[in-house]
Structures are given as C-alpha cells and as structure tokens.
Structure 1
C-alpha cells in the first residue's frame, strides 16, 4: 500500500515529503508552487520554492505563459535549479496589460486557469514525479479545488499580511491578534472604503472562500513579528543556509545593477536615502513633484527608483539639478541596495515584501502608503515596531515637500533612525 508522509514547519524551516511503497521503489516527493503573476507575489513564492528544493523536495514553479516569456529570469542558474511550468490566464500575448479591465482579466483567468492547471496535473500524473502537494497563492483559491479533485494536498500561501473587514465610523477598532487599535485610515484601502477597487476587494475576500479546507496555511513573516515564522527573502540576508543566495531569481523589469552598486560604493556610510515604490504603485504627478523637491531640500544623497512608465512625472530639470548627490534609475537589486552600508533610510509605499526586507536588514523606513494593506503596514512601522516614520498627507492626500524633508532629516540625523538601527543591531547580535 502506498503511503505519503508530509511534514510542515510553520517557521518555514521544513516542508518535507517522503513516499514509501512498502519495500518497492521510493521517489522524491513533488511540490507544485503556483504563483499569482505579479512581481510581489512571484518573489516570495520562488524563494519558498528554492528553500524547499534545497531541503530535498522536487519543486516546480508555475506561472502564466505570458509572464514566463517576459521574466528577467535567473531561476535556472546553479543557485536555484527550480523546474518551471505554465498555465494560462487567457491573455497569452500581453497578460494583464492587454485585458479590457481588472474584472475582465480576473474573470478570464478564473475560467481558464483551473482548466489549464488540470491539464498540467494530468500530464504530470504519468511522469516520473507526479505531484503530491500544491502550494498555491492565496489570490487563487480555485487551485485548492483542482488539487482536491486529484486527491493531492493543498497549502495556501499568503504573501501579504492578515486582513479584516471594516466599515464606517471614526472609532478605533481592536482586532484579536493585533497589538494596538486601528483607526479607519489604518485599514487596507479597499476595506475601509468598501466601494473602492471592487475587483480587488472581491479577490482579497475570495482568498478565504475555502481556506478552512486547505491542509496547511503558510504566511510570509518572521519570528520577531510573529513567533514560529520566517520570511521568504533570500537566505544570504538571513541565515545563509543557501550559500551565495543573494537574489530572488526573477524580475519583471530590466535592472541597473552595475550603475546602482558602483554609485553606492562611492557614498559615505549611512548617507543615502533609497526611494522605491515597488512594481505596482503609481504616484500622481503632483506627489512625484513634492517628493522630488523634498529630496532635494533634505540635502541627503539619494537613490531613486522610477519605473520607465513613471519617468514622465519627474519634474523638469530635477535629475540635472541633483546629479551631484542623487541617482535616478528605472530598477535596481533592492536587497543588495538595502544591505549596503551606505543606505540609511528607505522611502517606501510599504508593500509587504519591501517592509519585510527593510526590517530584516535594519534600514529605517519613511512610510508613504498608497493603497491595499500598505496603510496598516505603515501603522505598525511607526507605532508598534518603531522602525521609522509615517509621512502625513494633507487633505488632498499629498505628502508635501516640507514633510518629506523633515522626515528624512529626522531619520537620517535624529533619534528615530538611531533607535531603529540600535534595535536591529541588538536583534542581530542575539
């Protein structure tokens, strides 16, 4: 009789499978890691896959046809060696960017995705390594339904923080498991304003449609934030279990690695403000202008990542006027930048991946949240973890240049940055 034994540690240390056939052939267990096709979801799940490939599992990363063809991919290098497979989102030629709307994209993906995942599992069922377990992005709960049809295990993977619903009122709300009361402004944007982002709201709420049926629940976090946990960022920056593992292995954008690192190497220690709003956040032209002049007024050295699609919002003449102490690039190796001794502050939208990376590497944050869970993350950065400041916006929702300047100076020269760095050093020393 065939028996499958699967062991999971919620610290992220182990998810190992052994399959025994009562004295007959023993094979390596096979885990399929299915990710939602955006940068912020692929990176932590690919890192998860790499860690468990290192533990001895057969691991296959699955994304969409279009995305695989556009990735700046390092997954096949000697540092990773993760097998790759694809399913369809219904938009093979251009992915999400060619969809008529967010609703149209999700509806099509939710129709085609389960069908092509089923075909993939059928093909693999007759291979040397049939699938034993699917670790799937929480944004795609239909993956568990497909797994159950094949009689295999399903583990839901949350790449973001835990969220709760909220509506109406200005009173503070205390949620079990959280360390302090939250006001309406601190809740994820699509929860405190239920009429906004309907497609995103449906997808976020949909994560929990069958969560009680999953065999395991995995979350991307770490021990100092929540006991018995570990973040999925490259091992070299945490415990060095994977030697020379310095990057996630995948990028949707062309990186200016050499220019960034060469410039950083020429800067004094703890002198640079690193600015990046991730792969999805879009600042308005007015906010970009205020941020730019705030950076200039602070007189700090800065490295600012501005995606090519956002470059037109940079104020005219800004790059030339600040060329002696600033560098603007379209993308960069964020982990290497945050780990560099020259970096003393990170201005961020507070996406969960960026937040984890900065906390793990001891870089104080200046929080400028934009939407989704970023407001909640910013609340914790300032009031619970005390690892930075939240830049306050005016009645138009704009963080003005004088606020940017003041916050940068406070972090780079004041007590906020000093306390954050001392706290990190104490944690790092044990």
Structure 2
C-alpha cells in the first residue's frame, strides 16, 4: 500500500496524557478511509513502554525521545515536577532529532504534526516545515476555556486582590458563570511563570490560536455555550468523543474476572465503585474516614486500591467488611462501570473517568486532588448536576456517609441519575453515524489526509 501522508505525533509523557493520544491515533488508523496514512509516535521510552505494552499496531511506529536525564542514567527523584522540568528543558531538540530519524526511515517527510496541546513548541516546528499543527486537548472543554481566559483572570485578581476574588464567579466566561475563581486549577490562579507547568500552559495558550485544529475527547452537547465560544477562537474546534463509545478498546483478557463475578451477584445499582486513578492515594486520615463510612453504612463496595496503599486501611477493616465489600489491586474500570449493579462512582474527577461515568450512566461522588479535577467536580455538581462533592472537599466519616445517602438513597440521587442518563443519551447520539462527534472526526481525518489542501 502506497503511503501518501506521514503524521508526526508528539506526546506529553506525564500523567494520563499519552494514552488518550494513542487511542486517538489508533482510531484514525482503524478508520477504513485512512489507508495510506502512517503515524510516527514520539514519546519517552518509559511512557512508550507503558502505553504500548509490547504491542505493535499497523501504521503506528513508536519512537523514543530523550527524557532530559543524563545519558545512561534514569530519573531518581520522587517529584514529577522535577522530571517534567528535565523533559521540557530537552525540548524541542529531543523531538526534532527523532523526527528526522523517522523521516529517513519512512522515506517521506512529515506532512502534519499532531501533538498534545501542552507541547506548545509544536506550533513553531510546524511553521518551520510549512505544515499544519493539530493539537489534542486531553481534558474537558471547560478547563480549556478557563485557560484561554487566563489573562483576564490574572488582571482581575491583580486589581481586586486574590482573597477578594476567590468567591467571585467567572461571569465573563461564556458557559462558566457559576464557576468561582476558587474552583480553577492552581496553574491559572498562580501567575508565577517560574513554575515549569504554569509557564508551559501559559505558552500553550499563546500558541493555540495558530493551530489548524483543536481536538477534544468530548461531545458538543455537554457544554454547548462553551463549545460555541471556543469555536469562535480557533480555526477548527473538534469534539470527537466520548472515545470510549466510538473507539475500540484493548482487551485485558481474563484480568479482573474475580471482581466482575462478584458484581454479578450484587443487587441492581447497589454497589459503590471507588477508584482514584493510577497516581493518587488519599492521605491516611481520609482513607480512614472513607473506610469508616463504608463500614458504618454497610454499603456494598468495590475498591480499586494499589497494594502499597492497603496498609493505610483501619486495622481489621478487610475482615469486618468481607461480607459486603471487595478490594482489588486493579479493576477493569470500563467493565465495572458498565455493570448494572454499580450505583455510584467515588472518583478523583479526572476527565477520562468522568467521561466513562457519563457513558455508562453512573452518578459520581467527587474528591478532586489537583489540576483540573476541582473545576471538573464543580461542573459535575452544579452545572451538569450528575454527582455531588464531599462536604469540605475531603473524606470524613460523616461527610462521606452524607454524600453516599444523597446519591444512593435520597431524592437528590434520583434527580442525579435522571440527569446523567440524559447526558449519556446525548453522548451516544453524538457518536452515531450522523452525530456531531462523528462528523467532527471525519473532518479531522480529512484534515490530516490532505494537509496541503487546507
């Protein structure tokens, strides 16, 4: 098969950024109209190893870029910000070097760059080559919108003082009039450009308007006002999700069968599923508060908890709750949320988890920790009305019991369940053949297939 388009894909190797980008690339490859396109996936060796897991995909070739550590040495620090700083200091040279290698190997120049939006310098690389830059925003539209209004937010904070601003709402941001300054990510509230993360995101905001397209794993109907505002700011603003409803997923084989069999024995919508992603473990006091709430209320629960965090549970908790609860070191989250016995999801409010919860109609109890999670939880509770936040923002025994009662037993929970099922139907409609996300995906595919014709 003749190759007529060579797409360079630049990944941000931290958190849960690289995996959704690979999911998007796989979806582009598997589309029957994408024949003749090859993708070179540029990422650090550690991240590539984690997301490819030894598997190879047709028309996707992984290339390792330097992570910024000294040659022959692995990063030994414990702070992810330190690793991020080393990586960013090595850019864009580390990407440029491997991009040239990929062009030689493919015998074809790269015709389009697709990157994580955080990698703002991709704009410059594309301009130097005279090719399009497509950026992929891995979070929600609301957080992108907040970042796009950073200058206005900083100006207001400087003129009125941070303390006086915290409880003010973003009345000047379309679709976010109920969001307070205190709900925003720290990277927006802080104008300290010495922070590598804050500086990276600020530079991203300055460059994004030059991109040929912004791609988001979401659907227009979840935030129509925000969507229309962002469409006015970019050449192409393309919601193409939820990917979980439109993209094939890798099978985990028989992994997680024990907990799935356990779920099959539980009553409809009775189980609390608990997971905080792959990075977060609550502090010991919060772990105790959550455990005590589950034990006191005897709520059936399935808790995905890494082995090294088991020691944070109260003494005897596992034995006392064995009749109505289950703890596993890993759970197949999509299959869990899809199971009709699951009635609520206690989550850190990462965007992928929120989309998965919406896609399967499972109400949320939110305990955000960092980044965009606090803003996401605000949208969940007060804008979309598909979940609740914990009183005081942390796990306590009484606060957690109250949240569980609200979602599982009270009239509040009934309304939340109705709202999330309405949103679920909108998401399902968006990925149908004539849905908005499907049309946007076709536009994206045409864009990267014929970049010179844009």
Same fold per TM (> 0.5)?
yes
Report whether the alignment pairs 1:118 with 2:115. no
Residues 152 and 177 from structure 1, CA distance in 2 versus in 1: closer, same or farther, beyond 3 angstroms? same
The answer to whether the aligner puts 1:280 opposite 2:260 as a matched pair is no
Shift of 1:210: 2.0
- 1:5-404 → structure 2 map (5 Å cutoff): 27-55=3-31, 56=34, 57-71=37-51, 73=53, 75-76=55-56, 82-91=60-69, 98-99=76-77, 101-126=79-104, 127-160=106-139, 161-162=143-144, 163-164=146-147, 165=150, 166=153, 167=157, 168=162, 169=164, 170-192=167-189, 198-227=195-224, 229-234=239-244, 238-239=245-246, 245-247=248-250, 257-393=256-392, 398-404=394-400
Cα separation, 1, equivalents of 2:388 and 2:194 = 27
Give the superposition deviation at 1:299: 1.6
In 2, Cα distance between equivalents of 1:93 and 1:308: 30
The gaps in structure 2 that reach 5 residues or longer are 225-237, 430-454
The DSSP-based 3-state class of the residue aligned with 1:372 is coil
Structure number with the higher helix fraction is: 2
Q: Aligned equivalents of 1:314 and 1:422: distance in 2?
A: 34
Which whole-Å CA distance do the structure 2 matches of 1:197 and 1:150 have between them? 30
Distance in 1 separating the partners of 2:67 and 2:242: 25
Please say if 1:420 is aligned against 2:416. yes
Report the secondary structure of 2:41's partner residue: strand
State the alpha-carbon separation in 1 of the partners of residues 212 and 422 from structure 2: 37
**3-state SS of paired residue (1:270):** coil
1:298: how far off? 2.5
Q: Secondary structure at the match of 2:209?
A: helix
The 8 Å contact of residues 175 and 181 in structure 1, kept in 2 or not, is answered as: no
Q: 1:64 to 1:289 in 2, by over 3 A?
A: same
Distance, in Å, in 2 between the alignment partners of 1:411 and 1:104 is 39
**TM-fit CA distance, 1:363:** 0.7
Q: 1:297 to 1:317 in 2, by over 3 A?
A: same
| CA 1:94–1:29: 2 relative to 1, 3 Å | same
Change (3 A) 1:189 1:176: same
For 1:93 and 1:419, locate their aligned partners in 2 and report how far apart those are by CA, in whole Å.
57
2:418 match: secondary structure: helix
Residues 350 and 367 in structure 1, CA contact (< 8 A), matched pair in contact too: yes
Does the residue aligned with 1:291 lie in a helix, a strand or coil?
Answer: helix
Secondary structure of the 2:92 match is helix
> What SS does the corresponding residue of 1:98 show, helix, strand or coil?
coil
Q: CA shift at 1:289, angstroms?
A: 0.9
- The 1:146/1:195 distance shift into structure 2, 3 A limit, reads closer
Q: Deviations over 1:160-188 (max 9, x none)?
A: 23124444123333142224332233122
Q: Distance in 1 between matches of 2:338 and 2:194?
A: 35
Residues 1:424 and 1:318: Cα distance change in structure 2 (over 3 Å)? same
**Cα deviation, residue 119, structure 1:** 1.9
Post-superposition offset of 1:405: 1.0
What is the alpha-carbon distance in structure 1 between the residues aligned to residue 315 and residue 191 of structure 2?
38
Alignment check: 8 A CA contact 1:117 1:146 kept: no
For 2:418 and 2:4, locate their aligned partners in 1 and report how far apart those are by CA, in whole Å. 45
How many Å separate the matches in 1 of 2:391 and 2:89? 42
CA distance in 2, matches of 1:177, 1:357: 25
More strand by share: 1
* CA apart distance, 1:288: 1.1
2-structure distance, mates of 1:32, 1:266: 47
| TM-score (norm: length of structure 2) | 0.77
Distance 2:259 2:52 in 1: 18
Superposition RMSD in Å:
3.0
Farther off after superposition, 416-425 or 59-68? 416-425
Deviations 1:234-261 (A, max 9, x none): 3xxx24xx5xx234x79xxx99522322
Residues 94 and 293 from structure 1, CA distance in 2 versus in 1: closer, same or farther, beyond 3 angstroms?
farther
**Conserved? CA contact 1:255–1:333, under 8 Å:** no
Task: Tell me by how many angstroms 1:195 deviates.
Answer: 6.7
- Aligned-partner SS, 1:282: coil
